[in-house]
Amino acid sequence: MTAHEIDYSIYGEEMQYVEIELDPQEGVIAEAGSFMMMDDGIKMETIFGDGSQKDSGFLGKIWGAGKRILTGESLFMTAFYNNLVGKRSVSFASPYPGKILPIDLGAFGGKFICQKDAFLCAAKGVSIGIEFSKKLGRGLFGGEGFIMQKLEGDGMAFVHAGGTMAKKELLAGEVLRVDTGCIVGFTQNVDYDIEFVGGIKNTIFGGEGLFFAKLQGPGTVYIQSLPFSRLAGRVLASAPRAGGKDKGEGSLLGGLGDLLDGDNRF
């Protein structure tokens, strides 16, 4: 194996965290901000690039960092190493309610494609890159699914799904249509494209967006019920307005009530 062989345990239900057990000289890489706790003897190091062993030399590191910028992530990642003789543990927490999904890249042919903000941590040696769209429709209308991350190697990686996670096993030619933000990830054999919803009423009044993702098997697909963009949108929509009044959500009159109580400033 080129990646470090790590052991792990996942704890919790709605707000999970993963505990990685490191043997001497083993390491794990993680996104900045996902660290939770670690045993004494773990060395933390900020690294430039995607943390894989393939990034050799200065130009390799620049390329690895550039790939991360394109996915909207930080230039740097954090690596944690066990420098002592015995076993030591380090833990990483999910950023919002949901499930942590362990991915054995060796069992998936060495590659797994996921949403750009789904990656949590991985064994040292796993490469975190970008999966560019090769189809015009995906490039123009893919939204959240346009630029995805690809995890490559033969070690363990961990991704996060918001809300409840569903696993779908697609047969050859079987099609699944999904909201683009609800995709967590899929295996490399799955064909991914963007499809127009269709119909004038659906387009104007549907409220579900103009496009959805079309996933065609064979392969495995993981779906999340609560993408972070949807959660953030609901929080912002419910936030009080300037001046201390909320939107009157749940009232019979809604926005019309503001006119009746004199709040008709422009």
| Per-residue model confidence as pLDDT tens digits over 36-92 | 999 999 999 988 765 565 545 555 555 555 555 555 555 678 899 998 889 999 999
E-strand spans in 105-248?
111-114, 119-123, 127-131, 148-152, 156-162, 165-170, 175-178, 183-187, 191-196, 211-216, 219-224
Domain boundaries, the chain: 7-239
CA 83 to chain centre: 30
- % pLDDT > 70, the chain: 67
What SS3 state is found at 110?
coil
Per-residue buried b or exposed e for 212-239, using 16+ beta carbons within 10 Å of the residue's own CB = bbbbbbebbbbbbebbbebeeeeeeeee
Instruction: Answer whether 42's CB lies under 8 Å from 22's CB.
Output: yes
Give per-residue pLDDT as tens, 12-30: 988 899 999 999 999 999 9
Give pLDDT, residue 261: 46
Which CATH code for domain 7-239?
3.60.160.10
Token duo for residue 78: 């954090």
Model pTM score: 0.76
What SS3 state is found at 129?
strand
- Plot region of 231 (φ>0 → left; ψ -120 to 50 → alpha; else → beta): alpha
Token duo for residue 185: 């990830």
